Amino acid sequence: MHAMARAVQDRLPFLASPPAAVPAPAPARRRNPSLSEMLSLVSAATVDPAGTDDDGSVFSIPMPQPAPGGVGDDNAGGAAPGRTIQFRLVFTDLTYSVRRARHGGDVGGGGGGLRLPLQLRSDRVTAAAAPDAHAPRTKALLGCVSGEAREGEILAVMGASGSGKSTLIDALANRISRDALKGTVTLNGEPLTGNILKSMSAYVMQDDLLFPMLTVTETLSFAADFRLPRSLSAAKKRARVQALIDQLGLRAAANTIIGDEGHRGVSGGERRRVSIGTDIIHDPILLFLDEPTSGLDSTSAFMVVKVLRRIAESGSIVITSIHQPSQRILGLLDRLILLSGGRTVFSGAPSALPAYFAEFGYPVPDDENRAEFALDLIRELEASPTGTKPLADFHRTWKLMHAGSPDAAAWAPTMSLKEAISASVSRGKLVSGADVATTGEMHTYANPFWVEMKVLTKRSAINTRRMPELFLIRLGAVVVTGGILATVFFRLDQSPKGAQERLGFFAFAMSTMFYTCADALPVFLQERYVFLRETAYGAYRHVSYVLSNAIVSFPPLLVLSLAFAFTTFFAVGLAGGASGFAFYTLAILASFWAGSGFVTFLSGVIPHVMIGYTVVVAILAYFLLFSGFFINRDRIPAYWLWFHYLSLVKYPFEGVLQNEFGRGGECFVRGAQIFDNSPLGALPEAVKERVLASISAALGVGIGADTCVATGRTVLRQTAVTQLGKWECLLVTAAWGFFFRILFYFSLVLGSKNKRR
C-alpha cells in the first residue's frame, strides 16, 4: 500500500505534502482519490503531471480525438488505458566538447562543412576575453546528459543562454558528428542510424526559412510534393495539406502570402506554425525544434506549443528547446530538462519543480512562474563561486531517490524498432516511408529526382512570376547598355578605324554579358538557408536543385540575349546577315549561360553578398584583361598564358570576331588607308599617293587607291585569333556554363554537411 501511494504521489505531486524542513504553504488540493481510483491511475498511467497548475486547476485545450489505436487524449501525453507505447527515445551520458580558440572563445563545433550564421546559437558558449593560461584546452558544451522521451509526449529543454539547449537538440537530431559526440542515443533500444533518423524525423530551425511570395497553402503543398511519395494521389496530398492547415490553426490565413519586409503577409506566430508545418507534412515520428517560441508574444507562443501538443498526441515524440515558457505553456509540457553549462540540473515533470527546489532549499513562491524562478535561481548560482555544481550534484541524488518508478514497465515498448515503424505507418504515420510496412526499408527520398526537379521548377517559376521587378530591372539594364553601345558604335564603316572600333565593341559587349550576370548572386544566397533546411532531412536531392536552377534560369537568359542582339547588331552594322545575327545571338546566350553558371557556383562557395560581389568583379576583370583584347595571345608572358585559356571572356570574344571578320570578301584596308593609325596618316592625300606609288614600285606590286591590303582574316591574324573556329568557341563557352554548374553541385554537397564536429 505504501508503494502504491508513493507511485500515485509520483504521478500526482499535488497530493504530496511539502517537506517538513521547508515551511512553504501547502498548495490547494483536490479531494483525495478513492482506493479504486488510485489503483486505476497506477495501472493505466494516464495522469498528466504537467497539466496541473500550482493551484491544482487543470488547464485544458481542445484536442483532436485520436484515431483507434492512436494516442489517448490525456494531458500527460501518457498511454491510454490498454494502449502499448511504441516508441521510446533514450539518450545516455551525452558528452560533447570543442576546442578553445586562442582569443578565449570556443570553436563552436567547427569542421563539418559550411556552418550557417543562423546556426551560431547563443548556447555556443563564449569564454572570457582574457582566459587563464592554465585553463583546459577544451570546453564541454554537454556533460553526461541523460534522459528519455516517449511517444505522445513533449520533452522541453530549458536553460539560460549558453546552457547547451541547442547543442542537446543537435545531438539528438544527429546534427553532431558521431566521432565528436560521446554517449548513446537509442530508439526502442536500437541505435539510430543517419538514414533511418532522416526518414522518420524532422528538424525545425529557429529561423522561419520560407519563400515570401508563396501562400500558406502553396508552401505546404510544395512540402507535400517533396515529402509525400509519388504513389500517393494528388487528391490525398491535398487532403493532407488541408488537414494540416486545420491542425496548425491556419485556416484563416490559408491564402495569404508568407510575406517579408517589402510584402505584407502572415503574422509572426502564423509564420512559425507554417515553418513547423513544412517539416511535419509527412507526419514524422520524431520532431525536433530549436526554440520555436523565440521572438513571439505570449499568445502566439502558446498557440505554437498547443500545436506541438496536438502533434505529440497524434503519436509523435516532440523534443524542443525553449527559453522561458509561461505558466500555461509549462502546463502543456510532459517532461522538462534544465541545463546549466551543459550539465543537467533538473529532469522530470514540470509539476515536480516546486517539490524539487523545496528539497534543495529554495521553495518556489506561490505567485511566481516556476520556469522563471528556476532560471533566476540558476543564474544566481552560476554567478556564485561554486556555480551550479551543488544543484547538479543534488539532481543526481534526487534522481536516485526517485528511481525505479513502478510505471516504467508500462512505458517499455513491446516492439522492435522495425515493428514499431511498420505499425506506425499502418495507422497513418510517416507517410513518406509507407513502403516500410511491406519491404521493411526506409527510403531516403520520397520521390525520383525528375519529380523533385519538376516541383522545384514549378516553385521557382511561381516565385519569379510574382516578383517580375527583378527580371525587368535586369532586362532594363541590358537594353540600356545595348542602346548606349548602339549609339556610340553606330554604323561602323569598313576601315582600319572601323576594324579597331569593332574590336572594342565586341570586347565591351562580351564582358558586359558576364558583369550583368553578377546580379544573380543574391538569388541562391537568399534561398541558401531554405535549401539547407529542406535537404537536411531528405526533401529532395542536390542534383534536382541544380538542374531545376539551370532550367528556371535559362528562359530569362534567352530573352536577355535576344533583347541585346536586336538592340546592337543592326545599329552597329555588323556583318553576316541572318546567319551572322543568329550566331551573334547564340554567342551572347552562351556568354550569359557561362556567366550565370560562374556566379551561381560562387554563390554556393561564398555565403556573403558583399564578399561575393567583390570576388565576382575582380575575377571578371582578370578574365577581360587576359581575353586577348588588351594584349594579344602571342604577347602574353608565358607564365600568365594559362590564365588566358581560363578566361571566360576569351571564347565568346574570339567567336564573335570569327563571325565578323572570318567570312571573306570584306576589306578593311584599301590603298592609302594603310597609313591610318600611324604618323603618316596626317600627310596630305597627294603625298600619300606618291608614297604608296613608291612602295608599289619597290615591292613590284601594283597598289592602287582601291587595292585591298587587309581583309577580315588579316585582322584575325593580327589579333592572334587563329586557334579555334567560331563554333568551337561557342561550344567551349557553353561548356563552361555546364562545368560551373557541376562545381555548384559539389559545392552544395560538400557545403551542406550540416553537422558540428
| Digit-coded pLDDT (tens) for 128-141 | 334 444 556 778 88
| Beta-ladder partners of 443 | none
- Out of 197-211, 661-675, 704-718, least confident range: 661-675
Is the pLDDT assigned to residue 57 strictly greater than 50?
A: no
Residues 715, 717, 721, 727, CA torsion sign:
positive
- Out of 19-28, 348-357, 745-754, least confident range: 19-28
Backbone angles phi, psi at 551, to 5 degrees: -65, -45
| Digit-coded pLDDT (tens) for 223-247 | 999 888 888 888 999 999 999 999 8
Which residue intervals of 517-541 are DSSP H helices? Answer: 521-536
Mean pLDDT across 588-615: 91
User: What is the Cβ-side half-sphere exposure of residue 537, based on CA atoms within 13 angstroms?
Assistant: 29
Question: Can you give the pLDDT at residue 137?
Answer: 74
The Cα–Cα gap between 667 and 665 comes to 6
- Out of 87-101, 338-352, 493-507, least confident range: 87-101
What 3 state SS string does 671-686 have? HHHHHCCCHHHHCCHH
Question: Can you give the pLDDT at residue 443?
Answer: 59
The Cα–Cα gap between 615 and 218 comes to 36
- Out of 53-57, 84-88, 653-657, least confident range: 53-57
| Digit-coded pLDDT (tens) for 377-399 | 999 998 898 888 999 999 999 88
Report the interhelical angle of 468-488 vs 496-516 (nearest 10°). 170
The Cα–Cα gap between 135 and 106 comes to 12
Q: Is 317 helix (H, G, I), strand (E, B) or coil?
A: strand
Mean pLDDT across 451-457: 93
Residue type (1 letter), 483? G
Instruction: Please give the sequence-ordered ranges of beta strands (E in DSSP) within 687-753, or none if there are none.
Output: 708-711
Q: 414: which residues sit within 8 A by CB, 6+ positions away?
A: 84
Is the pLDDT assigned to residue 204 strictly greater than 50?
A: yes
Q: Are 132 and 105 in contact (CB under 8 A)?
A: no
Q: Could you tell me what percent of the chain has a pLDDT over 90?
A: 35
The Cα–Cα gap between 424 and 283 comes to 10
Is the pLDDT assigned to residue 55 strictly greater than 50?
A: no
Average confidence score pLDDT of the chain:
79
Question: Can you give the pLDDT at residue 80?
Answer: 41
Q: How far from the centroid of its chain's Cα atoms is residue 585's Cα?
A: 36
Which is more confidently placed, 199 or 381? 381
Is the pLDDT assigned to residue 342 strictly greater than 80?
A: yes
Which is more confidently placed, 4 or 489? 489
- Strands 190-191, 182-187: pairing kind: antiparallel
The Cα–Cα gap between 543 and 594 comes to 19
Residue type (1 letter), 133? A
What the block records as the C-alpha cell of 245 is 492547415
Which is more confidently placed, 199 or 727? 727
**Range among 189-193, 358-362, 606-610 with highest mean pLDDT value:** 358-362
| Digit-coded pLDDT (tens) for 458-470 | 999 998 888 888 8
The Cα–Cα gap between 750 and 333 comes to 38
- Hey, how many other C-beta atoms are within 10 angstroms of the C-beta on 190? 12
- Out of 134-143, 219-228, 447-456, 535-544, least confident range: 134-143
Question: Can you give the pLDDT at residue 241?
Answer: 93
Question: Can you give the pLDDT at residue 253?
Answer: 92
| Digit-coded pLDDT (tens) for 244-289 | 999 888 999 999 999 888 788 999 889 989 998 998 888 888 999 9
Which is more confidently placed, 106 or 679? 679
| Beta-ladder partners of 14 | none
| Beta-ladder partners of 475 | none
- Out of 49-58, 422-431, 621-630, least confident range: 49-58
What the block records as the C-alpha cell of 700 is 613590284
Mean pLDDT across 619-627: 93
The Cα–Cα gap between 627 and 439 comes to 58
Question: Can you give the pLDDT at residue 757?
Answer: 60
Q: Are 191 and 250 in contact (CB under 8 A)?
A: no
Instruction: Please count the residues of the chain.
Output: 757
Q: Are 260 and 207 in contact (CB under 8 A)?
A: no
Global pTM exceeds 0.95 = no
Q: Are 184 and 91 in contact (CB under 8 A)?
A: yes
Is the pLDDT assigned to residue 504 strictly greater than 60?
A: yes
Indicate the pLDDT class of residue 295, thresholds 50, 70 and 90.
confident
Q: In what order do the strands lie in the sheet with 88-99?
A: 138-150, 88-99, 182-187, 190-191
Is the pLDDT assigned to residue 9 strictly greater than 60?
A: no
Q: Are 568 and 506 in contact (CB under 8 A)?
A: no
End-to-end CA separation in angstroms for the chain: 51
The candidate with the shortest Cα–Cα distance to 105, out of 82, 124, 133, 80, is 124
DSSP state of 323: S
Question: Can you give the pLDDT at residue 411?
Answer: 59
Is the pLDDT assigned to residue 571 strictly greater than 80?
A: yes
- Out of 44-48, 500-504, 525-529, 739-743, least confident range: 44-48
Q: Which helix (H) or strand (E) holds 574?
A: none
What the block records as the C-alpha cell of 60 is 485544458
| Digit-coded pLDDT (tens) for 13-32 | 433 444 444 444 433 333 33
Question: Can you give the pLDDT at residue 442?
Answer: 52
What 3 state SS string does 66-132 have? CCCCCCCCCCCCCCCCCCCCCCEEEEEEEEEEEEECCCCCECCCCCCCCCCHHHCCCCCCCCCCCCC
Question: Can you give the pLDDT at residue 756?
Answer: 64
Is the pLDDT assigned to residue 545 strictly greater than 90?
A: yes
The candidate with the shortest Cα–Cα distance to 419, out of 174, 172, 194, 87, is 87
The Cα–Cα gap between 645 and 633 comes to 10
Is the pLDDT assigned to residue 586 strictly greater than 60?
A: yes
What the block records as the C-alpha cell of 7 is 507511485
- How far apart, in Å, are the Cα atoms of 600 and each of 519, 606, 620, 636? 10, 10, 14, 30
Is the pLDDT assigned to residue 152 strictly greater than 70?
A: yes
DSSP string spanning 119-188?
Answer: G--TTS----SS--TTS-SEEEEEEEEEEEEETT-EEEEEESTTSSHHHHHHHHTT-B-TTT-EEEEEET
| Digit-coded pLDDT (tens) for 74-112 | 333 344 444 456 788 999 999 998 876 554 444 444 434
Q: Are 107 and 125 in contact (CB under 8 A)?
A: no
Q: Is 478 helix (H, G, I), strand (E, B) or coil?
A: helix
Q: Which helix (H) or strand (E) holds 704?
A: none
Question: Can you give the pLDDT at residue 753?
Answer: 66
Q: 167: which residues sit within 8 A by CB, 6+ positions away?
A: 96, 121, 123, 124, 141, 142, 176, 342, 756
Mean pLDDT across 743-749: 92
Is the pLDDT assigned to residue 209 strictly greater than 90?
A: no
Q: Is 319 helix (H, G, I), strand (E, B) or coil?
A: strand
The Cα–Cα gap between 156 and 161 comes to 15
Q: 124: which residues sit within 8 A by CB, 6+ positions away?
A: 106, 108, 109, 141, 162, 167
Q: 400: which residues sit within 8 A by CB, 6+ positions away?
A: none
The Cα–Cα gap between 33 and 86 comes to 30
* Per-residue exposure over 581-608, b if at least 16 CB sit within 10 Å of its own CB, e if not: bebbbbbbbbbbbbbbbbbbbbbbbbbe
Is the pLDDT assigned to residue 541 strictly greater than 50?
A: yes
Question: Can you give the pLDDT at residue 45?
Answer: 33
Question: Can you give the pLDDT at residue 642?
Answer: 94
Is the pLDDT assigned to residue 672 strictly greater than 90?
A: no
What the block records as the C-alpha cell of 401 is 531517490
Q: Are 14 and 410 in contact (CB under 8 A)?
A: no
- Hey, how many other C-beta atoms are within 10 angstroms of the C-beta on 247? 17
Question: Can you give the pLDDT at residue 437?
Answer: 42
Q: Is 1 helix (H, G, I), strand (E, B) or coil?
A: coil
